[in-house]
Amino acid sequence: MTRGPEVPAAGGTTWLDAVGRRLGSPAEIVRRTRLAGGYATAGVERVELRVGEREVSVVVKPADPVEVAAMRAIGVVEGLEVPRLLAVDPLVLSWVDGAPVGEGDAVPPEIWRTLARVHRHWFRKRPRGIPVVDAGWWARLCEATLLPLRGARGRTGDPVFERTAELVAGWAGDPRVRAALALLPKTLCHGDPNRANLLGRSVIDWGNARVAPAGLDLAVLRAQGPVDLAAYREEFAEGPLEGVEREWAWAHVHVQYLGFAADHLGAARVAEMTAEVEGALSRLEAALRQVRPLRQVRR
């Protein structure tokens, strides 16, 4: 967790009353520090409070409706390692100590259990205010991904970006993806459990939460290195559509991050990710044949 320069206690402190009520004593600001990493988004601060005789640290960030809805939804799930929701406008969360899980390090069992318990609690249910990953959502994701791909093509002239953009445009209406999304049960997912969002034993930053097949979160973690699902499966076992879910999620995750790759990682990485999507969609078609008539998944 990186700290930026301290910033003065300015206006916008009406949330203190709400935090004081949640913590049982009036709260006053001792220090505010802009965060330059970890919880990093524009306007995010760590705020040190005096609450009665205690000193308490919180994160204060602009209120995002999806993140507020997600924090409320996970707040009803027992046994989670997540920040506690203290106020909603701005969004105030309890501070989480710890460093992000390092590249190559095993994901702690507590993180797997947190995701599994959320998936289990919200299985086949939809919390209010969370977007649903359906055929329309997928099409919009593909359309949004086209912008950075075409931008990279214009900047670099590399034909890799043009070819990938053509494929993504076609994937927007891919019947294999549509069939999988119609078939797979959904739950509340974090949506972006990359290692920067895994602090110590806690899962933070739920602003990309969505209602989707649970395999989405597993695929994000799998894309970052080898995974051990033992702790996850103790809490939430995968169902009979595991193969369909795994291949759908692998395709989805690579499309989800293609825009970032086009902006920051270059043509070679975009080509690798594109090949991963093509392979996953081919395997998805084979998996769907096992559970649905071929005519329903044929291109």
How much is the pLDDT for 229?
95
Residues 114 and 77 in one domain: no
Residues 166 and 289 in one domain: yes
Residues 33 and 150 in one domain: no
For residue 52, being part of any structural domain is answered with: yes
Residues 127 and 255 in one domain: yes
Report the predicted TM-score, pTM, of the whole model to 2 decimal places: 0.90
Residues 59 and 15 in one domain: yes
CATH of the domain at 116: 3.90.1200.10
CATH of the domain at 74: 3.30.200
**For all residues of the chain together, what is the average pLDDT?**
91
Residues 158 and 260 in one domain: yes
How much is the pLDDT for 4?
44
- Give pLDDT tens digits for 139-167: 999 999 999 999 999 999 999 999 999 99
The separation between CA 256 and the C-alpha centre of its own chain, rounded to angstroms, equals 10
Residues 87 and 113 in one domain: no
How much is the pLDDT for 297?
45
The separation between CA 285 and the C-alpha centre of its own chain, rounded to angstroms, equals 26
CB 273 within 8 A of CB 171: no
Tell which of 32, 61, 94 closes a domain.
94
- The bridge status of strand 202-203 relative to strand 198-199 is antiparallel
Low-confidence spans in the chain with pLDDT less than 50: 1-11, 38-40, 294-295, 297-299
Residue 66's domain spans which residues? Answer: 3-94
One DSSP character per residue, the chain reads: --EEEEE---S--THHHHHHHHHTS-EEEEEEEEE-SSS-STT-EEEEEEETTEEEEEEEE---HHHHHHHHHHTTSTT--SPPEEEETTEEEE---SPBPPTTSPPPHHHHHHHHHHHHHTTT---TT--B-SHHHHHHHHHHHHHHHHHHHHHH--HHHHHHHHHHHHHTT-HHHHHHHHHS--EEE-S---GGGEETTEE---TT-EEE-THHHHHHHHTTS----HHHHHH----TTHHHHHHHHHHHHHHHTHHHHHHHT-HHHHHHHHHHHHHHHHHHHHHHHTTS-GGGT--
Tell which of 94, 126, 156 closes a domain.
94
Residues 40 and 129 in one domain: no
Q: How far is it, in rounded angstroms, from Cα 47 to Cα 30?
A: 8
For residue 104, being part of any structural domain is answered with: no
How much is the pLDDT for 13?
77
For residue 101, being part of any structural domain is answered with: no
Residues 132 and 56 in one domain: no
Residues 118 and 216 in one domain: yes
